[in-house]
Structures are given as structure tokens and as C-alpha cells.
């Protein structure tokens, strides 16, 4: 029985999605819930599991195509009577079910959580002409297509093309920067998808410095932009055109809307953060906190949460339709994260209730999820105030644009060791510039300045946090 699978509404109300890569090919025999493809919406990269068990007879789109919701994506031969996909109402992936257990749903529109880490069993393909490039070069040059070649170095497989390792675009970019062939990396997770941790572990085993492909983001919570998948440029090509899609388009629309709707004001303050640096160093040296990466971002986040409780205007929303100012009595703290897919601002729910250690853990988890392109759409909604760390890129200050629906955003500059007046003398101190942009409809200059000074006071003397509530 032939069955068509149409691209479902992925639970975001978006009309289309871009096909990032196929993880199966025509002729593959797939199991129910086996991951078939990765698609990118304006908010996240989503894995599509198979709603049927059977053989794939046709793929109706290529990597890079933009597909409308409701369009036929895959055709199956189920080898049996009528079969229907299983509609569900859950967006997050559940843990794989053990043998005998009922599979749990994991994607809006259809499907159930995978039962195991099965991979597509590909049929043998006719090899193409021998390539003059190295095997690694061929792997890197065809990031979205099955590799069909008859070149040495792939082992004794009778000319059959190797199965392409399953991974996300940021992980493939990291492997490329480190010069690592993903076909040699073993996936340690139950899903069979190679993660960043798998690549870094392999790099360590073979003696490659994994840090050479990543920016120093230990404290920032901001994934490194070096993971961005830049399009390849042909020799002599003078221009490169890249379609504006997905997160990059959504971010651009939001920033334009914010910049031309909310009257932005930005105020700056340079502060001596030596005491914060010393606090962070002492916490890192504490064995009880060895598993927590507490950095300046976490301290600034804690300071902002404390200050927002005393300056509610910066934790408010201008509701034009209702003609109201909505003051929030909680803090959903947005953390601006630069990824290869563009800027995303997921938020930490009820950040005001978290300790410094809990905030550091939350920022780290948020960064790892964003870095892997797996930030859930719901995690990017409902923020009340945001922080961005431009200092991780070596920048001293900037004028950040407010995230739509919020009243302010705090930018952290680079921490620099420089001469500074301290106790009546000139000494080398750790100095940072803070920049606060706020919506002048909600916050006047005095309120914005007092908030920024209060955040700076905590960074200057972290013990002052004990005096605030």
C-alpha cells in the first residue's frame, strides 16, 4: 500500500519549513518513528520521525528546499492495507521506549518516540566516477547529499557508498573546523546522532585541540559563531547569495519591528569588576562547585534579577492593543545566543527564583541546546528582560536592540585588565563596560540609570547582593 506523508504543522503555526538534510534515501526500509529528516522553521531545527514502517519510494524535496505545510514530503510502500499516521500533541522528544513498552509521542502532528537507535538500512548504489579529491574533502563538499563514489579509503564495501553519519549542522561545522571525519566518530547517545560531545571526545582521543574550533564561551552562555555554515565559494566568484530564511529572517523581522516601534535609549557605565573576578576564581577552585561553570554572565544575571525586582519598569511590556502597561512579577530572563542559524534569545523561566549556581547551570544548558540547534520554540517566547554578552567577541560595548515585547536588554562588554583608580591610587584592575538599552515609553532616563548603577554595584562588590531582595 502506498502512503504519502505531508509536512505537518510543527506546532508553531508557521506556514513552511526548510529541509536541512535527509537522513534516509529512496529504497531505505524504515521503522515507525525512525528519524527521516531535519527541517528548520523560523524558530528551531526539528527532527521528523517516520509515521509509517515500510520502504521509501520517493522523496519529494531536496536539501535547501522550502516546503509548505501540507505538501507531500515522502512516499512510502507500507506493504499492507491502509495505514494512518498517529496524531499527537507533544513537541518535545521523549526517551526511547524499552522493548515491550508503548512508544510515547514526540512531535506535533504525528509519530511516536523512537524505540531504539535504528538507522536506515540503505541499499547498495552504483558508484560514480572516481574522485580526485580526498575522502574528507568529498564528505565536506556534499553536506546534504548521499556520497556516491568509488574512491580509495572507504574500506572494502564493494563500491557501495558509506552511510552518512547523522549529526546536526553545528556539529558538522565543528568537525570540519577540527579536520575530523564524522564517519570515524561514534555516537554515544541512544538516538544514534553524533553530538558535539562525541566530536570533542574523539578529538581528545586523537590529540586534536577541540578548543581550536570554538570561541572562549565558558562564561558567556553565547554559542560561538564559528559554527556558522558559510556557503562554499567557487574560485573567481565575486558575490555569494544566501536565501534569507528560518531564524535569520525571523530575527531580522523582529529587530526591525523593535527598532522602529520602541523608542530606544542606551546608557553606558564602566565598572571595576575585580571583586567579581576574584569571586569567580574562588568558586572555580571549590571542589564542591567543580561541575558548575560559574562566570561573569551568571553573576550579571543574578544582579539583573535582583535589580529588576526594585525597578519593575524594566520588567514590563507595552501592550498597544489593550492600551495597557503590563508589569511582570516574575523574571523570564532571555539570553541572546549567536548560532550558525542566526541570533536566538531563549529564556530562563522564573530566573528570579534561582541561586547563582542554578543560574550558571541554566545558562550552560541553554547555550548547549542553542549550539546544537535544538532550542524549542516555546523556550524563545515569554521573555521579560534579556542579557547579551558581546564581550565574548572582544567587544567593549554596543547598543543592543530590545527583544520585542520586552522593556530592556543589558549588554556585557569584555573584561579587560587595565589601569584604574583604586583607593586613591592607580592599579591594574578588571574593568567592564555595561550598556543598557530600554524602551523610553516604559522607562525614563532616571529609572534606567538607577537600574544600571545597581547592577554595576553588585558586579563591583558582589557582597552587596546580600543587601538586596
Check: CB of residue 75 under 8 Å from CB of residue 99.
Answer: no
- CA 247 – CA 44 distance, rounded (Å): 7
Among residues 429, 386, 399, 431, the alpha carbon closest in space to that of 296 is found at 431
- CA 417 – CA 431 distance, rounded (Å): 6
Instruction: Take residue 167 and report the three cell numbers written for it.
Output: 549529526
The angle that helices 445-460 and 274-285 make with each other, rounded to 10 degrees, is 50
Burial class of 309 by CB neighbour count within 10 A (0 to 12, 13 to 18, 19+):
middle
- Vertex 461: Cα angle to 456 and 462 (nearest 5): 95
Put the strands of the sheet holding 16-22 in their side by side order: 45-49, 35-40, 16-22, 66-68
- Output the CA torsion sign for 149, 155, 157, 162: negative
Among residues 293, 176, 168, 181, the alpha carbon closest in space to that of 226 is found at 176
Report the catalytic residues: 440
CA distances from 370 to 221, 345, 358 (A): 9, 9, 18
- CA 49 – CA 235 distance, rounded (Å): 39
- CA 15 – CA 374 distance, rounded (Å): 20
Amino acid at each position: 500500500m502506498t502512503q504519502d506523508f505531508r509536512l505537518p504543522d510543527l506546532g508553531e503555526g508557521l506556514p513552511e519549513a526548510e529541509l536541512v538534510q535527509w537522513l534516509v534515501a529512496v529504497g531505505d526500509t524504515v521503522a515507525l518513528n525512525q528519524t527521516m529528516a531535519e527541517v528548520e522553521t523560523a524558530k528551531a531545527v526539528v527532527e521528523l520521525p517516520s509515521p509509517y514502517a515500510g520502504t521509501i519510494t520517493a522523496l519529494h524535496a531536496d536539501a535547501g528546499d522550502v516546503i509548505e505545510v501540507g505538501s507531500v514530503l515522502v512516499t512510502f510502500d507500507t506493504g499492507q492495507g491502509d495505514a494512518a499516521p498517529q496524531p499527537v500533541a507533544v513537541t518535545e522528544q521523549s526517551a526511547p521506549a524499552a522493548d515491550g513498552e508503548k512508544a510515547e509521542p514526540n512531535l506535533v502532528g504525528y509519530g511516536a518516540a523512537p524505540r531504539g537507535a535504528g538507522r536506515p538500512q540503505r541499499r547498495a548504489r552504483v558508484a560514480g566516477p572516481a574522485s580526485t579529491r580526498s575522502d574528507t574533502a568529498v564528505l565536506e563538499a556534499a553536506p546534504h547529499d548521499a556520497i556516491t563514489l568509488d574512491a580509495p579509503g572507504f574500506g572494502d564495501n564493494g563500491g557501495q557508498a558509506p552511510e552518512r553519519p547523522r549529526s546536526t549542522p553545528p556539529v558538522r561545522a565543528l568537525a570540519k573546523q577540527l579536520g575530523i571525519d564524522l564517519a570515524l566518530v561514534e555516537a554515544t547517545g541512544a538516538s544514534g546522532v553524533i553530538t558535539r560531545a562525541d566530536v570533542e571526545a574523539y578529538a581528545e582521543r586523537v590529540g586534536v585541540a577541540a578548543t581550536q574550533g570554538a570561541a572562549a564561551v565558558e562564561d558567556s552562555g553565547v554559542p560561538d559563531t564559528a559554527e556558522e555554515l558559510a556557503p562554499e565559494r567557487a574560485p573567481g566568484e565575486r558575490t555569494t547569495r544566501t536565501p534569507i530564511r528560518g531564524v535569520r529572517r525571523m530575527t531580522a523581522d523582529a529587530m526591525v519591528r523593535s527598532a522602529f516601534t520602541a523608542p530606544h535609549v542606551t546608557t553606558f557605565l564602566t565598572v571595576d569588576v575585580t571583586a567579581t573576578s576574584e569571586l569567580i576564581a574562588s568558586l572555580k577552585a571549590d571542589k564542591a562547585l567543580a561541575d558548575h561553570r560559574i562566570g561573569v554572565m551568571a553573576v550579571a544575571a543574578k544582579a539583573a534579577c535582583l535589580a529588576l525586582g526594585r525597578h519593575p519598569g524594566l520588567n514590563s511590556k507595552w501592550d498597544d492593543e489593550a492600551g495597557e502597561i503590563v508589569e511582570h512579577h516574575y523574571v523570564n530572563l532571555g539570553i541572546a545566543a549567536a548560532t550558525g542559524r542566526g541570533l536566538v534569545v531563549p529564556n530562563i523561566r522564573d530566573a528570579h527564583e534561582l541561586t547563582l549556581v542554578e543560574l550558571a547551570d541554566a545558562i550552560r544548558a541553554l547555550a548547549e541546546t542553542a549550539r546544537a540547534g535544538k532550542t524549542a520554540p516555546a523556550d524563545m517566547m515569554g521573555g521579560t528582560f534579556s542579557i547579551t554578552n558581546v564581550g565574548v567577541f572582544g567587544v567593549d560595548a554596543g547598543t543592543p536592540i530590545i527583544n520585542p515585547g520586552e522593556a530592556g536588554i543589558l549588554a556585557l562588554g569584555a573584561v579587560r585588565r587595565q589601569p584604574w583608580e583604586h583607593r586613591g591610587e592607580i592599579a591594574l584592575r578588571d574593568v567592564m563596560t555595561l550598556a543598557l538599552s530600554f524602551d523610553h515609553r516604559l522607562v525614563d532616563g532616571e529609572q534606567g540609570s538607577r537600574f544600571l548603577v545597581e547592577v554595576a554595584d553588585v558586579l563591583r562588590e558582589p557582597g552587596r547582593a546580600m543587601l538586596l531582595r
